Structure 1
Amino acid sequence: MSRIKGIEVKVQKEVLQTRKYGLNEILKKKNDDQNNSKDATEKHQIKELLHKLPRLDKIFEVHRKIGEGTFSSVYLGSLRQHAALPDSEKRWFAIKHLVPTAHPARIEHELRCLQDIGGKDHVIGVELCLRNLDTIVFIMPYIPHKKFSEYVGEMDAAELRQYMRALMIALRHVHSFGVIHRDVKPSNFLYDRDNRRYLLVDFGLAQRLCPAPEETPAPPPAHSNGIRKRPRDEEEASSAAKRVALDLSTGAPVACAAPPVPRCACAGAGGVCGACSARPPPRCACAGAGGVCGACSARPPPRCACAGAGGVCGACSARPPPRAPRAGTQGFRPPEVLLKYPHQTTAVDVWAAGVVLASALTARYPFFRAGDDVAALAELADLVGTEPLQRAAAALGRRVVTSSARRGLCLRKLAAWLRGQGAGQARGAGAEPGAPLCTRCRLPRNQCLCRDEIKKAEEFSAAQSVAGFPDAAFALAARLLDPDPRSRISAAAALAHPFLAD
């Protein structure tokens, strides 16, 4: 009873305050209290950081927190020796404090990326690294920037061309070192609109390129920047070449191959004899070891009788799920990450750049809003169509089953509709009686967003403009958002595209 009485008194007090001061004053007071609490928390965090790292306090003056992520917090700082200078003449730094629970190998890898790759071509570098016990900070350059959502709808064709060109230059530079950034998104590509400066930041999830096991040398794919794979004998000579970029496992990788199977008389014939069909599959030398060899990881899983049925058998449900790198931000993961394809390449970053371009063309951010991988695949099927997505999955050794077929959306029509130009105005106003209908979606032609059957998405007209952007911009977006990573355009090739070419 006393608790209920206390709640009633509290409610009556709030009602009296609302009548006395008004609702706006009460809300303003609550916001002020929240801001004061947030400022007090940030000051306490800065004080604790300076206490754990006294050398930082001697060199820099830490002003406020400007960013926070899963593995780090970023603060704005300036040199103490410049304290007497006005703010316009000070040199500003971004002080990145890594969480103490981060793996040492991850921290070392990020630092090496900043040292080896950063400092040119719109890629952030590192000025200084300070460490005391488990407290580690990176001192990096800082540029003033705004949130992408504040200017995504204000960018015209010229500004978008410069923005995407700078992003592709940064990715080309990173990929030339055989590194996948893995977290390309607008918040990691800082943009100073006043001075036209760009910086690709946050290499905390970056990985080295891991070559896929192949028996014979093959020409490099479009996204490998012309780097050919080394011969097998050269790979075996160097164990470091086969190491995944950020392998945090304790066991050493196993390098082995399945033992040769004796050749039977039925080899090359039109069937398999009874002896061969009853023979158990050959046991690889990696069985029971601390890792899986390249031959076993590339081998497709055996097809079960439950494939295509309405359920999953006990053997398949007990089978361990495929392991593959999944680092990145939801909404920017390409199909090969969603399908857990193990041999991912720099095409992962190219897809994310395509999502950024699509957001700018449609003035919608975030562009994809799925909360899990299955919903993300459904969004991709709506955009690119189920057939291209299934073909890409089959090329990766995966299978995508959908309840209905999707033709895919035309990004040009979608941009015109979302920006309220062209056919999009008629879509909101309603259709005229007797207007021709689309044969696929059964909507009036001026409201249809289906992909054009005659014109391919990567084709464009130099004289055409859609929603204020040249048709070549949408053609580039189609190449960047190719669901098949093998045919997806590379960052270097994107710079030669007519939309980005000088």
Structure 2
Amino acid sequence: MESVVPGRGHRDQPFTIHEDAPSTADTEMLESASPEDDDNVEQMDDMADDMEGADDEDQESDYSASSDDEVVEDPYVLQDMEKLQNSFPGFREKYRLIKRIGEGTFSTVYKAEDLLYDDYDNSWDLDRDNDRYAPPPLRSGDGAEAQPSRRRKPKYVAVKKIYVTSSPSRIFNELDLLHDLRGCKAVCPLITAFRSADQVIAILPYFRHADFRDYFRDMTVTDMAIYLRSLFTALASVHSHNIIHRDIKPTNFLYNPATRRGVLVDFGLAEREGYDCKPCVCHEPMARRMKRAAVKKLAAMPRKGGYPRDDTRPSRRANRAGTRGFRAPEVLFKCTEQTTKIDIWSAGVILLTILSKRFPFFNSADDVEAMIEIATIFGWHRMQQTAALHGCMFETTIPTIGKSGFSFEAIILWSTNRSGKELPEDEQLAVEFLKRCMELDPSKRISAEEALRHEFLQLGLEQEAEGKGETGDDELDILKV
């Protein structure tokens, strides 16, 4: 069995995959890797081609289920857990699988007890000091009956089994990015990883969370601010490393309303900003953009309904990976130079979902329907401007799509059955923040760092400070946030 071990550095000490020396025991979690170990990595398809194959399918989250402690009774799940334990020699001595907590397009995640927790560095665990300073049991000489020493409470991890259908480049990319993000606030750290033949598993901290659908309708504006502040803290950390998550959605942000702490997970579609991209006209000045022949040609085309019979425009290929309903306009228009701002749009969709109390808010079947949904809100005039920003053209003959669209205030009032009324002052502040997140032009969209300084995300700071340290009986493995 081979182990994938994260190093201590970042880009100066690249992530490596290596094979341990032959042993009858299970592979140890080594702290370093030799230069010769890099030869074990066999690169196949590039990540862009791999992601393109998943564009037409809705990207499911690995953590789609909440972490309730129900007993595993499904024979298929039990069989799958048994097969996983047998695939890695010595796995049973390190971890005890408990149940499956999530299943996505590219992987399955299990909850497991870390049997060798005390043998390794656990700096990722916030609660490790709680047990260290626990009061010792009373002795009989202290005037009380002798008490047995208390056993340390179990520590849990999440075991992510990555499907063999994922290319080696995709797997290596995800683990490499997680390695770079170690120590980042509100981001799921990589503890270690193992490879046996073509099977790869990643060991991550287990984070107890609630199902988004169970609490988002009951959130107050202050609750929204605390939730979004935790999410944007994670985005700020990720974006500071020039990494695009590409799949921001509620099921990829594990949040516990009781502790008001969340963590960003699932970097299976993440990529470094600028990776395998080509220049797009959206990054050029307006004057130069309007001089381009392609834009002039698009503007001169007859504006009629339907598709042109003989379309002479060159095809465009761009990364469209992500989940339908959360893709930014530049992704739908196939911008070839996408930035971290696509994550900000997705976070804005989450806020719109909470404010409108409708999940999912956007429910399109493909990219064309997704454009229509966005155009219904912003109007066809602004969508035309957005299309021209990326050298494209947008036309529609759907009568329900007006020129100016609707305001977010009107949409929220209508969806919450408050038509004819006005939004309270705190909700107006939330809508103001929402407008900054869901700006059609990515260059005008707010950044994660700017968002953390916004007045809306300052709400509830005192309540959040008071709530820190309050954990339930099973809050034993909260991530560092």
The superposition leaves residues 207-255 of structure 1 with CA deviations (integer Å, 9 ceiling, x where unpaired) of: 111175499x999xxxxxxxxxxxxxxxxxxxxxxxxxxxxxxxxxxxx
Q: Distance in 2 between matches of 1:354 and 1:413?
A: 17
User: Using the alignment, how far apart are the partners of 1:387 and 1:498 within structure 2?
Assistant: 30
Deviations 1:23-51 (A, max 9, x none): xxxxxxxxxxxx99971010011111111
TM-score by length of 2: 0.66
The amino acid that maps onto 2:203 is I
1:130-168: CA deviation from partner (whole Å, max 9, x where unpaired): 110011100001111111111011111221111101111
Aligned to 2:88: 53
Contact 2:382-2:404 within 8 A present in 1 as well: no
Matched, 1:483 2:440: yes
Taking the aligned partners of 2:117 and 2:396, their CA distance within structure 1 comes to 62
Unaligned runs of 5+ in 1: 1-34, 220-297, 425-445, 448-464
1:114 to 175, 178, 182: 178
Separation in structure 2 between the aligned mates of residue 196 and residue 321 of structure 1, nearest angstrom: 46
1:358-369 equivalent positions in 2, closer than 5 A: 358-369=352-363
Aligned-partner residue type, residue 212 of structure 2: F
Tell me the CA shift for residue 419 of structure 1.
Answer: 2.6
Superposed CA RMSD in Å reads 3.1
Is 1:170 aligned to 2:164, yes or no? no
Are 2:370 and 1:376 aligned? yes
CA distance in 1, matches of 2:171, 2:213: 30
**Of 311, 330, 337, which residue of structure 2 is paired with 1:316?**
311
Structure 2: how far apart are the matches of 1:349 and 1:87?
A: 43
- After TM superposition, the structure 1 = structure 2 runs for residues 127-138 of structure 1, keeping only pairs within 5 Å, are 127-138=191-202
Aligned to 1:397: 391
Distance 1:418 1:316, change over 3 A: closer
- 1:75 and 2:110 matched: yes
Structure 1 residue 148 corresponds to structure 2 residue 216: no
Separation in 2 of the partners of 1:349 and 1:218? Answer: 22
Describe the shift of the 1:311–1:361 C-alpha distance in structure 2 as closer, same or farther (beyond 3 A): closer
Counterparts of 1:416 and 1:311, CA distance in 2: 34
How far is the alpha carbon of 1:352 from its aligned partner? 0.1
* Distance across 1 between alignment mates of 2:152 and 2:425: 36
User: After superposition, what is the alpha-carbon deviation per residue over 1:412-443, rounded to whole angstroms, capped at 9, x for unaligned?
Assistant: 2332333334xx3xxxxxxxxxxxxxxxxxxx
Query: What's the TM-score once normalised by structure 1's chain length?
Result: 0.64
Q: SS state of the match for residue 457, structure 2?
A: coil
- Distance in 2, matches of 1:494 and 1:385, equals 26
Structure 1 residues 213 and 312: alpha-carbon distance in aligned structure 2, compared to 1, 3 A threshold: closer
Alpha-carbon distance in 2 for matches of 1:127, 1:178: 22
Does residue 79 of structure 2 align to residue 44 of structure 1? yes
Structure 2 letter corresponding to 1:172 = A
Which blocks of at least 5 consecutive residues in structure 2 are unaligned? 1-69, 119-148, 286-291, 462-481
- Once the two structures are overlaid, the 10-residue window that deviates more, 308-317 or 179-188, is 308-317
Paired residue for 2:7?
none
Query: Residues 93 and 38 (structure 1 numbering): CA distance in 2 closer, same or farther, change over 3 Å?
Result: same
Bigger Rg, structure 1 or 2: 1
Cross-structure match for 1:498: 455
Higher mean Cα deviation, 361-370 or 205-214? Answer: 205-214
Displacement, 1:196? 2.0
Shift of 1:374: 1.1
The correspondence for 2:327, drawn from 333, 350, 354, is: 333
Code of the residue aligned with 2:381 in structure 1: it is E
1:11-50 to 2 correspondences below 5 Å: 39-50=74-85
Closer, same or farther: CA 314–172 of 1 in aligned 2, 3 Å: same
* Alignment partner, residue 356 of structure 1: 350
Name the structure 2 match of 1:6.
none
Alignment of 1:157-306 (within 5 A): 157-210=221-274, 213=279, 300=294, 303=297
CA contact (8 A) 2:103 2:109 kept: yes
Over 3 Å counting, the alpha-carbon distance change for 1:322 and 1:475 in structure 2 is same
Q: Could you tell me whether the CA contact under 8 Å between 1:306 and 1:313 is conserved in 2?
A: no
Residue 412 of structure 1: aligned partner: 409
Q: After TM superposition, give the deviation of residue 408 of structure 1 in Å.
A: 1.8
Partners of 1:369 and 1:328 in 2: CA distance: 14
Change (3 A) 1:420 1:218: closer
Which shows bigger deviation, 407-416 or 300-309? 300-309
Cα pair distance change 1:397/1:214, threshold 3 Å: closer
Instruction: Trace 1:380-459 onto structure 2 (pairs within 5 A).
Output: 380-403=374-397, 404=399, 405-421=402-418, 424=419, 446=420
Q: Aligned AA for 1:411? A: F
Residue 297 of structure 2 aligns to a residue whose secondary structure is coil
SS at match of 1:89: coil
CA separation in 2, counterparts of 1:420 and 1:315? 47
